[in-house]
């Protein structure tokens, strides 16, 4: 009698736990979906990476001067838009968040013994910068894929590029292309030249190691490569992106 009662209570407790976890997952999915959808029209005031920088500085007992200023699509130079596409994701208009061709190429390079290169799209990098953390892990990559799908589903390409340019890290405490343009060139993002935009895009893979204010020979070489890629891109690419919004 006591054993059957115990087993019955145990089964009931298990059902309650499963129901609670199911509702927790559904609630999280609804909440994150609503946040991503809202950000299609609401400019995010901060990002996970900015909050992380503030927390890290606080732990070190330092006062971090975080430079970030939002610039709308119309107030960002066409050169800056084209430079990040040329540098980071030349098939930005062709994929839906994941560039399978670049992923396959990266895996082939790894299998041949060469250094694994990045294959993340602008959408994936935006998902990471806006909502997640930089450390590599399967959990982070899974969440990155989830937020990438949400972003690509809810936002047009123009909004994706606009938000990415405003939350990307361009140096220690420098977030967003407008703050970077002011910090390194003393001008707003609307007035960036092709050479300046290419230099900013050149540091995006590692903004703490590469510097736009004191560019190394490698950064200068990367800047020249980006300029070449910008010239090779279709002239109508930005119009097609703008029309998507």
Instruction: For 141-193, write each residue's pLDDT tens digit.
Output: 999 999 999 999 999 999 999 999 999 999 999 999 999 999 999 999 999 99
Strands 67-68 and 169-171: unpaired
pLDDT of residue 113: 59
Yes or no: say if 192 and 226 are a contact pair by the CB < 8 Å rule.
no
Q: Which helix (H) or strand (E) holds 16?
A: helix 2-38
> Which pairs with CB-CB distance under 8 Å and at least 24 residues apart come from 163-166?
163/39, 163/43, 163/44, 163/126, 163/130, 164/84, 164/122, 164/125, 164/126, 164/129, 165/71, 165/76, 165/80, 165/81, 165/84, 165/189, 166/43, 166/44, 166/70, 166/71
Confidence of residue 17 (pLDDT cuts 50, 70, 90): confident
pLDDT, one tens digit per residue, over 204-235 is 999 999 999 999 999 999 999 999 999 988 77
Confidence of residue 114 (pLDDT cuts 50, 70, 90): low
Q: Hey, where are the domains in the chain? A: 1-38, 45-244
Q: Is 9 a residue whose pLDDT tops 60?
A: no
User: Running DSSP on this structure, what letter comes out for residue 139?
Assistant: H
Among the four given CATH numbers 3.20.20.70, 3.40.50.10740, 1.10.8.50, 1.10.3810.10, the one describing domain 45-244: 1.10.3810.10
Share the mean pLDDT of the chain.
89
pLDDT of residue 236: 76
pLDDT of residue 199: 98
Confidence of residue 108 (pLDDT cuts 50, 70, 90): low
Q: Is 77 a residue whose pLDDT tops 70?
A: yes
Place of tokens 């999280």: 28
CA gap 156, 40 in Å, rounded: 8
Q: Is 125 a residue whose pLDDT tops 70?
A: yes
182, burial (CB in 10 Å: exposed 0-12, middle 13-18, buried 19+): middle
| Both tokens assigned to 19 | 């129901």
Distance of CA 178 to the CA centre of its chain: 16
pLDDT of residue 214: 93
Place of tokens 């790894």: 110
């Amino acid at each position: 009698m006591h054993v059957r009662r115990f087993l019955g209570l145990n089964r009931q407790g298990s059902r309650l736990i499963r129901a609670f976890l199911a509702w927790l997952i559904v609630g999280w999915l609804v909440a994150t979906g609503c946040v991503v959808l809202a950000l299609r029209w609401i400019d995010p005031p901060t990002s996970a990476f900015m909050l992380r920088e503030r927390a890290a500085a606080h732990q070190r007992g330092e006062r971090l001067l975080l430079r970030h200023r939002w610039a709308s699509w119309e107030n960002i130079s066409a050169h800056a838009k084209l430079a990040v596409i040329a540098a980071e994701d030349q098939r930005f208009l062709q994929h839906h968040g994941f560039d399978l061709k670049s992923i396959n190429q990266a895996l082939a390079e790894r299998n041949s013994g060469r250094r694994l290169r990045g294959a993340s799209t602008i959408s994936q990098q935006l998902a990471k910068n806006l909502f997640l953390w930089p450390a590599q892990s399967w959990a982070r990559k899974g969440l990155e894929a989830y937020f990438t799908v949400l972003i690509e589903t809810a936002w047009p390409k123009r909004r994706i590029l606009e938000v990415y340019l405003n939350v990307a890290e361009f140096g220690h405490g420098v977030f967003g292309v407008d703050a970077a343009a002011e910090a390194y060139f003393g001008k707003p993002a609307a007035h960036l030249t092709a050479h300046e935009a290419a230099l900013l895009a050149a540091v995006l893979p590692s903004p703490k190691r590469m510097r736009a204010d004191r560019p190394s020979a490698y950064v200068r070489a990367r800047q020249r490569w980006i300029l070449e890629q910008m010239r090779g891109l279709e002239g109508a690419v930005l119009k097609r992106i703008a029309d998507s919004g």
